């Protein structure tokens, strides 16, 4: 065995850890997808909160994230324990995370609390619990290996777990709602969230016990305040990171409109709410099926090409969905299939591309900032979700949406435009951003070699 192949083998992640990483994201997607698909609807159609106020709840939570995410990222980078840097956060944060999710799908009941205030407090609690566990979990991907190809494999395992979690929650929630029947939606959503929260807790604990972290790379010691002050300069010194973040923000803000409007489209436009579960399950199934394809494409060419190809396919699907003015069901589901197949590339390639920017930043600044980088990613996703909710609430109001009421043809067309044309514009934006992304396989191998040479010289 040559020295190069021995080094590459050393950077491979054991199968047990790969599976554990995927199971961990299964737990996260139970909560993330459940929140993305159902919480806005829960606020408007169950708690009776107006779309604009519901959007403001997301916005306030986003401002809270801007404070808490950098703090927890800096704390995780400074964590040293017998369990490693990031795994302890999974161990101690799993149970609060599993409890916070059903609380977000609850109401004040007989308590003398305004539903808006209850929704705001429980939403902030959920976002905080999510930060505590998701940011260290995301950072693990860069800690477990420095090999770009192995990171794509990890991203594949992760996305299979994520797709399975998304599939589970989008199947479970509507089924529980149907079992409970009309007039008992509030209880149904809470019970479904309790089941999902319990499964999420078990998934994170399994992830904790399935892996070991490599020994931490020594870094420059700074105060916590110094760590916080270094985050923004670190971001500016890393152009690939800026582009990857821009992609996930556009994807979450624009492409997220499609899934968030699914319940509204089938309830008010098609008047076939019983078909919602099929429409929600299809993209999750496609994600499981297409993950190996996008990983294969990225290895054959590049991560950039794999993401660009998938984005182009999803763009075609959004346009096909919008021009279906007769609402033919076969064409509706065909376009959902096309969108699901294409947009799955974003889910895979974002998490394959992001870890590579850690080495780029370390070469440029001399500081390895895994948790800060992934803390930025966590905040970017949640901030984009907040922007998406605020924008959706405002646009639904402009379109004339009224919960649980008959809607005019103009309102329904406006809602369909929100659902399809905004994601189409986001897809075009992602394709433009990708044109300037240059961190390919060869360039990343050069960066890793530079860092290994530096460490060898420092050790000598």
Domain segments of the chain as ranges: 15-212+223-459
- C-alpha separations of 245 from 250, 344, 387, 446 in Å: 9, 17, 15, 23
pLDDT at res. 6: 45
Closest residue by Cα to residue 161 from 339, 293, 28: 28
User: Tokens 């709602």 — which residue?
Assistant: 177
- Both tokens of 94, joined, read 């799993």
pLDDT at res. 139: 78
The structure's pTM equals 0.71
pLDDT one digit per residue (tens) for the chain, 460 residues? 454 454 455 467 889 989 999 999 999 999 988 998 889 889 988 999 998 898 889 888 878 887 787 778 778 777 788 888 888 999 999 999 999 999 999 988 778 889 999 999 999 999 999 989 988 887 787 778 877 778 778 878 888 888 889 889 988 998 898 888 777 889 999 999 999 999 999 999 999 999 888 766 555 455 556 665 666 677 778 888 889 888 988 888 888 889 888 888 998 999 998 888 888 888 878 877 888 899 899 989 899 999 999 999 999 999 999 999 999 999 999 999 999 999 889 888 887 888 888 888 888 887 777 767 777 776 777 778 778 888 888 898 899 888 888 889 999 999 999 999 999 999 999 999 999 888 888 888 888 888 888 878 877 6
Closest residue by Cα to residue 257 from 52, 425, 47: 425
- CATH topology classification for 15-212+223-459: Growth Hormone; Chain: A; (1.20.1250)
Cα(426)–Cα(311) distance, integer angstroms: 9
* Overall residue count recorded for the chain in this entry: 460
pLDDT at res. 157: 87
Cα(340)–Cα(348) distance, integer angstroms: 12
- C-alpha separations of 142 from 90, 104, 135, 332, 351 in Å: 16, 31, 12, 39, 10
Instruction: Provide the angle, in degrees to the nearest 10, between the axes of the packed helices 356-365 and 329-353.
Output: 30
């Amino acid at each position: 065995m040559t020295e190069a192949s021995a080094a590459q083998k050393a950077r491979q992640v054991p199968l047990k850890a790969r599976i554990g990483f995927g199971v961990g994201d299964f737990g996260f997607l139970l909560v993330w997808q459940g929140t993305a698909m159902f919480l806005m609807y829960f606020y408007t159609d169950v708690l009776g909160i107006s779309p604009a106020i519901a959007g403001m709840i997301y916005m306030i939570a986003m401002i809270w994230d801007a404070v808490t995410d950098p703090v927890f990222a800096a704390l995780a980078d400074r964590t040293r324990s017998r369990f490693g840097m990031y795994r302890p956060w999974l161990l101690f944060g799993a149970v609060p995370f599993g409890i916070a999710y059903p609380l977000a799908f609850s109401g004040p009941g007989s308590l003398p609390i305004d539903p808006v205030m209850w929704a705001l407090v429980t939403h902030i609690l959920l976002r905080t619990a999510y930060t505590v566990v998701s940011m260290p979990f995301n950072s693990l991907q860069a800690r477990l290996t420095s090999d770009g190809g192995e990171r794509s494999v990890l991203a594949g395992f992760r996305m299979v777990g994520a797709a399975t979690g998304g599939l589970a929650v989008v199947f479970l929630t509507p089924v529980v709602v149907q079992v409970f029947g009309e007039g008992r939606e509030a209880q149904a959503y809470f019970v479904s969230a309790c089941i999902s929260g319990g499964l999420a807790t078990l998934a994170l604990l399994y992830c904790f016990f399935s892996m070991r972290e490599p020994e931490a790379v020594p870094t420059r010691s700074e105060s916590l305040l110094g760590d916080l002050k270094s985050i923004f300069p670190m971001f500016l010194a890393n152009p690939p990171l800026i582009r990857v973040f821009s992609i996930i923000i556009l994807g979450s803000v624009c492409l997220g409109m499609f899934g968030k409007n699914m319940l509204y489209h089938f309830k008010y436009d098609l008047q076939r709410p019983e078909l919602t579960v099929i429409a929600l399950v299809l993209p999750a199934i496609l994600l499981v099926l297409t993950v190996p394809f996008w990983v294969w494409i990225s290895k054959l060419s590049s991560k950039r090409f794999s993401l660009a190809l998938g984005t182009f396919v999803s763009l075609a699907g959004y346009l096909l969905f919008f021009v279906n003015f007769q609402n033919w069901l076969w064409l509706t589901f065909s376009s959902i299939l096309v969108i699901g197949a294409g947009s799955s590339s974003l889910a895979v390639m974002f998490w394959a591309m992001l870890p590579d920017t850690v080495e780029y930043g370390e070469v440029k600044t001399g500081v390895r900032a895994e948790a800060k980088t992934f803390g930025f990613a966590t905040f970017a996703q949640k901030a984009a979700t907040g922007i998406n909710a605020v924008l959706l609430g405002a646009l639904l109001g402009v379109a004339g949406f009224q919960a649980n009421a008959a809607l005019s043809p103009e309102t329904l067309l406006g809602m369909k435009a929100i659902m399809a044309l905004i994601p189409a514009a986001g897809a075009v934006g992602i394709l433009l951003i990708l044109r300037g992304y240059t961190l390919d396989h060869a360039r990343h191998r050069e960066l890793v070699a530079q860092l290994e040479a530096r460490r060898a010289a420092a050790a000598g």
